[in-house]
Amino acid sequence: MDAKKIITAAAIVAAFVAGVLFVSAGANIFGSERAVLPASWADGSTAIDDSDVNTQAMAFQETFTKVSESVNPAVVQIQARRTQERQMRSPFEGTPFEDFFQQPGPRQFESQALGSGVIARSNGYIITNNHVVEDATELSVKMFDGEMMEAEIVGTDARSDLAVIKVDGDDLPSISFGNSDEVKAGQWVLAFGSPLSDQLSNSVTAGIVSATGRLRSMGQMGVTNFIQTDAAINPGNSGGPLVDIQGRLVGINTAIVSRSGGYQGIGFAIPANTVQRVTRQLIEDGAVERAYLGVRYRPAPETLIENEGLPRGAAIIASVESGSPADDAGLQEGDIVVAIAGEDLQEFLQLGNAVAQRTPGDEITVTVDRNGERRELSVRLGTLNDDAGENESSESEETPSSESMMEQLGLSVRNITPEIAEQLGLEDTDGIIITEVDRRNRMIRESGLRARHIIVRVNGQPTPDVNTFQSVYSDIEAGSPFRVVARTPEGMAFVTSLRKPAE
């Protein structure tokens, strides 16, 4: 065989071998079932066999998946367009040319807010936050399948920050309601919505309920009650549902606490029972009726709570509106509310929240401590007017008097003269006025008493003047606590407790 044939044969063999190698490598690259991984890849040790995975963990994961699949079709994205007017400033303002050029008029600017919502009824009623749709000139709703629909506002309620809007539709998937009174800290919840961007609609996050009954005073807006959660909530999630692991609504996401403007583990939702009560009225009546008690109240001072063994959330009735349900039931200024509906107050705002959770005409039992005696009063709640409010107040000033009182109690008092009464706008001169308090004295500091408070009773006895006050005080046993009833400069009743120093 000559050299040429030998070279040709070798080339054919080499080509064959190369082809085999190429096919083998291709199989590895393109995922052939017979592909063999390099040894360095094949010896991974983290994969767990299905039979070894905890069945509870797999079931838990499956639950999250099922809840997401069940709830998401009822979750929508809301785009609210607003038109705002801004007055434009003249570039010549403040210059000699200002009078020569006409002041520019207001210009209109359009902005778009992003929020979330949840379908509450299959015929197109959607629940969201009031702040999502407030002042909107145009509302668009993006459904789970991506369809865009126009919406109209049915009703809004600024006090609860809830709103109802409606789209045209029938047989739409709608959310199931849970009982938010049964929600407990530590239970799992999922939050749905469109965080930060319209491209992130129907996002799902999971977490737990961090706390329930987070109460906040909103002044004339009353008391609001929130569920706290660590499920991730960001701007854009507002109005979206917070659900339990059975897919039931437990709250509507409404706010976050953050130093960055984004999620930091503290989110708040309006409880489902409040949502259901408010939105049902918005759908059926277009407005919300609220229960009304007719008092202003404030937290009891620490010294009063400690000395008299009151519940830590005891609330002092500072004023009672004449002719109100509270007045009709016999509640008085200076009464200390210790329980509402048979439940001891652990937080003074529970009083306002208990009323807010009820409807006009409901009866509620208010337990008060009046001059050391417990009384239960039944109140039939009225209807709250927009200009009625239920809350609190206090403040200070000076002029010295008794050195011994300053040494023992940390305060100075004097009689109310006609001049002082006229200066303070008082109708009579009964009572003694605090002219100075020693802020270094822990007892007086925690008692809540301030200069210009008028003491009207001590240890259950009237104190029309300083002599009577000193006489009553001298009869109190050393080391004993005693109650002080005063009136603030605003005319509100104030109750606290002091302790006579031990000899």
H-helix segments, 209-356: 272-285, 302-308, 325-329, 350-356
- Please confirm, yes or no, whether 131 is among the known catalytic residues: yes
- Please confirm, yes or no, whether 238 is among the known catalytic residues: yes
**Options 116, 161, 180, 230, the catalytic residue:** 161
Complete DSSP assignment for 151-208: EEEEEEETTTTEEEEE-S-SS---PEE--GGG--TT-EEEEEE--SSGGGTTEEEEEE
User: What beta strand segments (E) does 348-395 contain?
Assistant: 363-370, 373-380, 382-383
DSSP 103: P
Q: Please, is 388 exposed, middle or buried when counting C-beta atoms within 10 Å of its C-beta (0-12, 13-18, 19+)? A: middle
Q: Report the C-alpha gap between 219 and 317 in whole angstroms.
A: 16
Give the sign of the dihedral formed by CA 45, CA 51, CA 55, CA 60. positive
Under a CB-based contact definition with an 8 Å cutoff, are residues 444 and 301 in contact? no
**Options 116, 131, 201, 412, the catalytic residue:** 131
Q: Report the C-alpha gap between 157 and 172 in whole angstroms.
A: 24
What's the helix, strand, coil split of the chain in %, to 5? 25, 35, 40
- Please confirm, yes or no, whether 70 is among the known catalytic residues: no
**Count of helix runs (H) and strand runs (E) in the chain:** 12, 27
Under a CB-based contact definition with an 8 Å cutoff, are residues 193 and 239 in contact? yes
Among the listed residues 156, 123, 354, the one whose alpha carbon sits nearest the alpha carbon of residue 239: 156
Q: Report the C-alpha gap between 300 and 350 in whole angstroms.
A: 13
Q: Report the C-alpha gap between 482 and 480 in whole angstroms.
A: 7
**202 Cβ contact partners less than 8 Å away, ≥ 6 residues apart:** 72, 75, 77, 144, 192, 193, 194
Q: Report the C-alpha gap between 452 and 206 in whole angstroms.
A: 53
Which neighbouring-strand residues pair with 271? Answer: 251
What are the phi and psi torsion angles at 197 (to 5°)?
Answer: -150, 145
Tokens representing 18? 């190369």
Give the sign of the dihedral formed by CA 24, CA 30, CA 35, CA 41. positive
Among the listed residues 236, 247, 246, the one whose alpha carbon sits nearest the alpha carbon of residue 175: 247
Under a CB-based contact definition with an 8 Å cutoff, are residues 468 and 437 in contact? no
Q: Any idea how long the chain is?
A: 503
**Options 116, 174, 180, 238, the catalytic residue:** 238
Strands 223-229 and 295-299: unpaired
- List active site positions: 131, 161, 238
